[in-house]
Structure 1
Amino acid sequence: MNHPFIDVKGLTKKYRRKTALKKIDLTIDSPGLIGLVGPNGSGKSTLLKTAAGLLRPGKGSVTILGETVSRRIADQAAYLAEVDSLYDYQTVRQAVVFFSRVYPDFSVEKAESLLGELKIDTGMKIKSLSKGNRARVKIAVTLARDVPVLLLDEPLSGLDPIVREEILKMIIRHTDLNRQATVISTHEVAEVEPFLDYIIFVKDGSILLSEDVETLRETRGQSVVQAMREVLS
């Protein structure tokens, strides 16, 4: 039996009095690039963290390839946090070695290839890198993992347009979109639209639209940006 890459049923998550997610149902059963779009505070990060096993569902369930999500789900999913998770005291090379020890599916060869492509000096300390180069390193070590699901939380946030374009193209080139489901949450909808296979619109902890991009264009006659403006307005 083939299980969905991600299957969310009745997912509710509260932080004290604030409800971050409200009875969300979502099934991603095909590989490709999935855009998770919504304003700040809409629940995107909470949804990704729950799928990555970093948060427990309040109610409902999340499974990845049929396995109930927990902290042990890391062998099925790689999570890139919006906040910087690299260790300042390490060199880039030490960070690569560290990731290789933590994750059995991590490819040192692929990480080094990606960093070389990005012209990152692996002898430099993480704390000495510019914001753009830290973002490049984060992406490189995430893409160096061979897992079926990639969860990328705002990988383009706070970067200048040239760096955003470079990182987006790197994600497209170095993920196997015929085999991996890559979820990318972002505000930069116009930039990612040409590459998206599937789109999820989230607002106030609820999914307002979840649709195949080609179907969206054919049935609504709208671009993703146009549909977003209509649905999120």
Structure 2
Amino acid sequence: MQKIEITQLSKSYGRKEVLRDLNLTLAGNRIYGIIGENGTGKSTLLRMISGLARPSKGSISVNGHTTAEGRRSQVAYLSDQEMLDGFSTLEYQIQFHEKMIPNFQVNRVYEMLDMIKLPVDGKIKNLSKGHRNLFNLVLTLANPAPVLIMDEPLSGIDTNKKEDLLQLLSSFTLDEDRLILFATHEYDEIEFLIDGLVIIKGSSIAYFTEDLEEMRIEQGKTVQEIFKEVSK
């Protein structure tokens, strides 16, 4: 079973405190969403979990790995920034990832690209933002790491592309032993995709449930309604 354990985690940049004393355990084959206003530290938290940023205080364990290098070995990370060379083709990027990532699932890449009708012979710079985001997601999903972390994967893409992205997530991860964690502000779009919810407010965790369906049954509230209550 996959597990992320966060203990007394804080992060500051100079005198600015971004996150303060976070304690959180995420476990199982589940999809967790992290939401919060801009500047609340969502991206910083994801980078620290992924071993790409150093905590100021506290500890993070991903499947028992506590060092940054160890955590990176467990995580497939999708940044909110575009990292691919626009002048390369999709085919080149697929081959590059195959060389760089152990057990990279090439067959899965082509299966997903066929599902979203995205040809591999074109250059990345000629893709729309939505298609670039989808291709980045495809490459990330083909990484066999047991923990998948995504930063704002829905940002800036149109409704049809969002539907394709959510379909990829549900179709290619549902039966796998993977833990998925992503930050987003698209509350409505993720309502019936995520199993658990984390809300960050004022540099701290303001709300957490690992069973969103149970919460819906007991309280009859949507993710957006919960967020509005917590944000008051």
Structure 2 length-normalised TM: 0.94
1:89-142 per-position Cα deviation (integer Å, ceiling 9, x unaligned): 321011011111121031111111111222212111112211111111101000
Alignment of 1:140-159 (within 5 A): 140-159=138-157
For structure 1, list consecutive stretches of 5 or more residues without a partner in the other structure: none
For structure 2, list consecutive stretches of 5 or more residues without a partner in the other structure: none
1:174-200 per-position Cα deviation (integer Å, ceiling 9, x unaligned): 114551111121111111111211000
Partner of 1:71: 69
Q: Partner letter of residue 219 of structure 2?
A: R
Alignment of 1:159-198 (within 5 A): 159-176=157-174, 179-198=177-196
Alignment of 1:95-134 (within 5 A): 95-134=93-132
Q: CA deviation at 1:76?
A: 1.1
Partner of 2:227: 228
**Is the 1:32–1:178 Cα contact (8 Å) retained in structure 2?**
no
Partner of 2:48: 50
More divergent stretch after superposition (216-225 vs 125-134): 216-225
1:166-224 per-position Cα deviation (integer Å, ceiling 9, x unaligned): 21121111114551111121111111111211000012221101102123224434222
Runs of 4+ in 1 over 3 A off after TM superposition: 218-221
Partner of 1:213: 212
SS at match of 1:26: strand
User: Does residue 1:139 correspond to 2:137, yes or no?
Assistant: yes
1:16-59 per-position Cα deviation (integer Å, ceiling 9, x unaligned): 22111111111002221111111111111000000110001110
**Is the 2:75–2:145 Cα contact (8 Å) retained in structure 1?**
yes
Within 1, Cα distance between the matches of 2:229 and 2:59?
A: 30
Within 2, Cα distance between the matches of 1:120 and 1:162?
A: 14
Q: Partner letter of residue 220 of structure 1?
A: Q
Within 2, Cα distance between the matches of 1:153 and 1:38?
A: 12
Q: Partner letter of residue 216 of structure 2?
A: R
Within 2, Cα distance between the matches of 1:118 and 1:179?
A: 24
Structure 1 length-normalised TM: 0.94
Q: CA deviation at 1:72?
A: 4.2
Q: Which of 19, 22, 30 does residue 21 from structure 1 map onto? A: 19
% identical aligned pairs? 35
**Is the 1:197–1:213 Cα contact (8 Å) retained in structure 2?**
yes
What is the aligned-residue RMSD (CA, Å)? 1.5
Q: Partner letter of residue 229 of structure 1?
A: K
**Is the 1:105–1:147 Cα contact (8 Å) retained in structure 2?**
no
Q: 1:177 to 1:62 in 2, by over 3 A?
A: farther
